[in-house]
Amino acid sequence: MKNLVILGGGTAGTMMANKMARALPDKEWRITVVDKDDVHVYQPGLLFLPFGDYQEHDILKPRGAQLDSAVRYIVAEIDRVDPVAHKVALKEGEPLPFDLLVVATGTDIYPDETPGLMGPRWQKDVFDFYTLQGASALQKRLASFDGGKLVVNLVDMPIKCPVAPLEFTFLADAFFEERNLRHKVDLVYVTPLDGAFTKPKASKALGAMMTDRNIEVVANFNASELDNGKKVLRAYDGREMDFDLLVTVPLHGGSSAIRGSSLGDDFGFVPTHQHTLQSLQFPDIFVLGDATNLPTSKAGAVAHFQGDVLYTNLMRFIQGEPLLEEFDGHSNCFIETGHGKAMIIDFNYETEPLPGRFPLPGAGPFTLLEESHVNHWGKLAFKWVYWNFLVAGRELPLTHRMQMAGKWS
């Protein structure tokens, strides 16, 4: 019997395991998924947790329960991958042999990499919202915050869901306005980028929205350390940003198991073919979702589009057929903008976000690069789609390739 091992039981790994379980004969292949715990977090929900729109129980389910019954699920920490010996070493238990490996280990935050960030003010005046613990602690802090300077800072790129810090800032603006506290809160968005976002058209639109909401944008700020005594965030160029409440998006990196293997780069991401999703070093290893080093967003939508391509290529690899170079970097993101509205951006490796209608040309129902209530309801409805279709590995009525129909420049 041959072994397909999938590292990671999050969005990407669960989706791919379920797809392959329906495709491979169980008498010939054993599919194994490994992750460190049995808690599957609906990560888009972490954005809403600090504002009380969701509670923890709204976004948590057991990982194993999301997997096809034919999939073996192992709860264990991955120690390292030996791609030459075709084995995955676990911190406890016997090594797992593989004939085919899918790396879907995602990305983790490393706040300890920024001096002072995890000092005495951590989860008192300094919070992240990219973890369940951080988002829950921030919910309590925001409920008691009655004025002062709130700074939202990205330490560096890449990060999971690059629009999430923008969304948090817009939602914070609405949160305080609805409580008649906005006039007492200075909102500052501090980024290492030269604008609000990485793509010029989207950056211009989002920057204008921040100006309209009286949110200050401080660009090209590369955070070097946090002074806990003075409550100051410092940049490498000497600039300082004082705060009363700091919401940070810490440094991101790949899994420590990948960092400790010959499989990853210096940041723990796996060098991956941009279009086939095959490892650039090892032909029987493929990579999916946030674990890749690809120049596209680390987001659930990207994992979905990649998943369609990877499924085809895994089957072709098993059958000894040439791989298809089908993944074009397609990404789309809902961006919450507050007050029950959102916008959508849709782009790929070559094409930046454009205005238009999505997914049906001319009909929508969603608008691109434009706020609407319909977009907001689409984002909320995605939670049902996520649990019932996306991680289940079922087909969605969206092509993995970006479509230009319905868009205009």
Q: Please state the domain extents for the chain.
A: 2-109+253-318, 111-251, 331-390
Which CATH code is given to the segment(s) 111-251? Answer: 3.50.50.60
Q: What is the mean pLDDT of residues 342-346?
A: 93
Q: Do β-strands 29-35 and 72-75 pair in parallel, antiparallel, or remain unpaired? A: parallel
Q: What is the pTM of this model?
A: 0.95
pLDDT recorded at residue 397: 78
Q: What is the mean pLDDT of residues 85-102?
A: 96
Residue 195, pLDDT above cutoff 90 = no
Q: Rounded CA gap, 218 and 191, in Å?
A: 6
Residue 66, pLDDT above cutoff 80 = yes
| Coil vs helix vs strand at 140 | helix
The answer to whether residues 396 and 385 touch, using CB atoms and an 8 Å cutoff, is: yes
pLDDT in tens, 25-63: 989 999 999 999 999 999 999 999 999 999 999 999 999
Grade residue 407 by pLDDT with cuts at 50, 70 and 90: confident
Q: Rounded CA gap, 221 and 345, in Å?
A: 25
| Coil vs helix vs strand at 178 | helix
Grade residue 226 by pLDDT with cuts at 50, 70 and 90: very high
pLDDT recorded at residue 9: 97
Q: Looking at the domain covering 2-109+253-318, what would its CATH class be?
A: alpha beta
Please provide the average confidence, as pLDDT, over all residues in the chain: 94
111-251 and 2-109+253-318 share a CATH fold: yes
- Please give the span between the terminal C-alpha atoms of the chain, in angstroms, as a whole number: 53
| Coil vs helix vs strand at 188 | strand
Grade residue 123 by pLDDT with cuts at 50, 70 and 90: very high
Which of 119-128, 230-239, 368-377, 389-398 has the least mean pLDDT? 389-398
